[in-house]
């Protein structure tokens, strides 16, 4: 057993199954170096585990006072420190469930069709993430997915805050919040979507020519979806704002377009580059 | 017993007052180990307390300290990601902090008694190693709980904890 064998720490933390524990016991019985390392690790664990840090009374009063002030002034407002998923209120998402059922039935449910993307699946993922965030619970961020989206994905405008990222195979999912409270999901999938097929399957939406590339967009009650394909990836944006509004947010345009199709030149110009569709 | 706001908690659900009274030291310890300094630790705990206050209804009876540690860690990671994405200078919103001037005597005492060498050592770890070690050794979470918190497999947690401890050992020696 060498120093890099992580069974030693797991042994110390009582996280090994009996077979692995027996193997470590055998190594400990025969190798003084392993015994010595385990003793050092145990000492460090004890030191860190026992070293609680006492905040000062002033510090305690400051923290509790700030929380109580923030809660009294506006129970749903952002806290004075950082934005919080638990503060987010997305009332429209309670109404999305019905549309998800309808969409899923049209698409055939998750995995019911091989088309890219399976809109029902993506809407369900978005709705599930939004519901959890809305309830105040926490969502664990997948670091690999976060870096995939932030480092390798489109140029995300600074105005959007990344709240959650996850990855399921080649499907990368990130959730962003805009300053005006819009929660939107950005999905990246490998492969090019057939937008006509999506339109046919969904029975709704429209395909917009974006200067050589196309976007399928649809407003479905409270849920709004936009799909862009090209360059080997398919990007899907889902949220509780109109598709063009979400696209404008994603492209960092200053204003809000009144409807899909208007200001399409600006949208095209701003979106093509960040999504690397025109290169 | 009702809390300050007059709300009577569900059986098994702690009150915010009780958490602030009995668990703030624990939350602060986890936050300080993760953040590495008093100011950032206070910000993390403050935000975590706010989330606790607004999320108590979603608490399901179980390991209260595990739940609190997860919230503290999420706040810390949220803020870390935010700073990585968008370096910025925040205007202080608490006038007491703007005009505070010299720290109070109890703050000086608290700062002087902090085990700085330990903190410097653990702050030197990469974030993912530091988080795993703190959640294991300071917060007392199991590998499975840390894996759920971090969104990585248990095997990754096991590796991060061991590699983190080896780096701590190297620095301390």
pLDDT digits (tens, 9 = 90+) for A191-205: 878 888 887 777 777
The predicted model gives B83-88 an average pLDDT of 49
Q: Note whether A74 contacts B: Cβ–Cβ < 8 A.
A: no
Q: What is the ipTM of this complex?
A: 0.74
Which of A13, A73, A79, A168 to probe by mutation at the B interface, max B CB count within 10 Å?
A79
- Closest-approach residue (CA) in chain B for A149: B85
Residues of B in Cβ contact (< 8 Å) with A142? 151-152
Give me chain A's average pLDDT, please. Answer: 68
Q: Using the beta-carbon criterion (under 8 Å), do B118 and A48 form an inter-chain contact?
A: yes
Distance from CA of B47 to the nearest CA of A (A): 6
Contacts of A264 (CB under 8 A, 6+ apart): A208, A210
Residues of B in Cβ contact (< 8 Å) with A41? 165, 169
pLDDT digits (tens, 9 = 90+) for B100-137: 334 444 444 444 343 567 778 888 888 889 999 999 99
The predicted model gives A85-90 an average pLDDT of 27
Q: Using the beta-carbon criterion (under 8 Å), do A135 and B58 form an inter-chain contact?
A: yes
The predicted model gives B7-34 an average pLDDT of 80
Q: How confident is the model at residue B9 (pLDDT cuts 50, 70, 90)?
A: low
Q: Which of B46, B106, B165 sits opposite A67 (nearest CB)?
A: B46
Q: Which of B46, B86, B103 sits opposite A63 (nearest CB)?
A: B46
Integer angstrom CA distances of residue B55 from B50, B92, B145 = 8, 25, 19
- Closest-approach residue (CA) in chain B for A5: B162
Residues of A in Cβ contact (< 8 Å) with B23? none
Q: Using the beta-carbon criterion (under 8 Å), do A82 and B103 form an inter-chain contact?
A: no
Token couple for A140:
């664990």
Q: Which of A45, A80, A143 sits opposite B94 (nearest CB)?
A: A80
Report the largest interatomic distance among the alpha carbons of chain A, rounded to a whole angstrom: 76
pLDDT digits (tens, 9 = 90+) for A182-194: 788 888 888 878 8
Q: Which of A51, A56, A86 sits opposite B104 (nearest CB)?
A: A56
Angle between helices B24-35 and B38-55 (to 10 degrees): 130
Please tell me the predicted confidence (pLDDT) of residue B109: 40
pLDDT digits (tens, 9 = 90+) for A144-175: 777 777 666 666 666 677 788 888 888 888 88
- Closest-approach residue (CA) in chain B for A151: B85
Q: Which of B20, B32, B82 sits opposite A53 (nearest CB)?
A: B32
B-proximal residues of A, 10-29, CB under 8 Å: 10, 13, 15
Q: How confident is the model at residue A106 (pLDDT cuts 50, 70, 90)?
A: very low
DSSP string, A144-179: HHHHHHHHHS----TTSEEEEEEEETTEEEEEEE-T
The predicted model gives B12-16 an average pLDDT of 76
Please tell me the predicted confidence (pLDDT) of residue B161: 95
Considering only residues B56 and A5, tell me which one the structure prediction assigns the higher pLDDT. Answer: A5
Considering only residues A249 and B15, tell me which one the structure prediction assigns the higher pLDDT. Answer: B15
Alpha-helix runs per DSSP H in chain A: 7-12, 18-30, 32-50, 57-73, 96-107, 119-135, 143-152, 195-202, 243-251, 264-272
Please tell me the predicted confidence (pLDDT) of residue A119: 81
């Amino acid at each position: 057993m060498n120093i890099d064998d992580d069974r030693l720490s797991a042994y110390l933390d009582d996280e090994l199954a009996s077979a692995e524990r027996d193997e470590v016991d055998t190594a400990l019985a025969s190798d003084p170096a392993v015994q010595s390392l385990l003793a050092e690790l145990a000492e460090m664990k004890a030191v860190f585990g026992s070293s609680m840090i006492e905040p000062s009374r002033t510090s305690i009063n400051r923290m509790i006072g700030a929380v109580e002030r923030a809660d009294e002034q506006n129970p749903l407002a952002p806290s004075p420190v950082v934005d919080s998923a638990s503060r987010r209120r997305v009332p429209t998402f309670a109404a999305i469930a019905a549309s998800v059922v309808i969409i899923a039935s049209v698409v055939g449910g998750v995995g019911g069709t091989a088309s890219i993307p399976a809109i029902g699946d993506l809407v369900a993922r978005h709705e599930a993430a939004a519901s959890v965030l809305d309830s105040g619970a926490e969502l664990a961020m997948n670091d690999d997915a976060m870096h995939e989206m932030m480092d390798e994905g489109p140029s995300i405008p600074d105005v959007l805050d990344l709240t959650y990222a996850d990855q399921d195979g080649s499907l990368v999912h990130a959730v962003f919040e805009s300053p005006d409270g819009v929660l939107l999901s950005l999905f990246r999938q490998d492969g090019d979507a057939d937008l006509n097929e999506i339109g046919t399957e969904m029975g709704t939406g429209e395909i917009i020519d974006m200067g050589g590339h196309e976007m399928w967009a649809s407003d479905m009650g409270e849920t709004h979806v936009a799909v862009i394909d090209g360059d080997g990836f398919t990007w899907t944006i889902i949220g509780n704002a109109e598709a063009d509004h979400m696209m404008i947010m994603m492209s960092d345009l200053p204003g809000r377009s009144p409807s899909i199709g208007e200001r399409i030149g600006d949208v095209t110009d701003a979106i093509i580059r960040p999504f690397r569709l025109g290169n | 017993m009702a809390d300050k706001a007059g709300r009577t908690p569900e059986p098994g659900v702690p009150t915010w007052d009780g958490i602030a009274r009995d668990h703030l030291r624990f939350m602060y310890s986890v936050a300080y180990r993760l953040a590495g300094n008093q100011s950032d630790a206070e910000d993390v705990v403050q935000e975590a307390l706010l989330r606790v206050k607004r999320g108590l209804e979603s608490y399901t009876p179980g390991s209260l300290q595990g739940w609190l540690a997860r919230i503290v860690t999420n706040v810390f990671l949220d803020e870390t990601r935010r700073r990585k994405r968008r370096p910025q200078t925040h205007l202080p919103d608490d006038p007491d902090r703007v005009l505070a001037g010299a720290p109070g005597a109890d703050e000086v005492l608290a700062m002087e008694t902090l085990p700085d060498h330990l903190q410097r050592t653990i702050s030197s770890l990469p974030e993912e190693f530091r988080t795993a070690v703190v959640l294991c050794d300071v917060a007392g979470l199991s590998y499975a709980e840390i894996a759920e918190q971090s969104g990585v497999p248990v095997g990754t947690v096991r590796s991060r904890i061991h590699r983190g401890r080896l780096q701590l050992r190297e620095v301390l020696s």
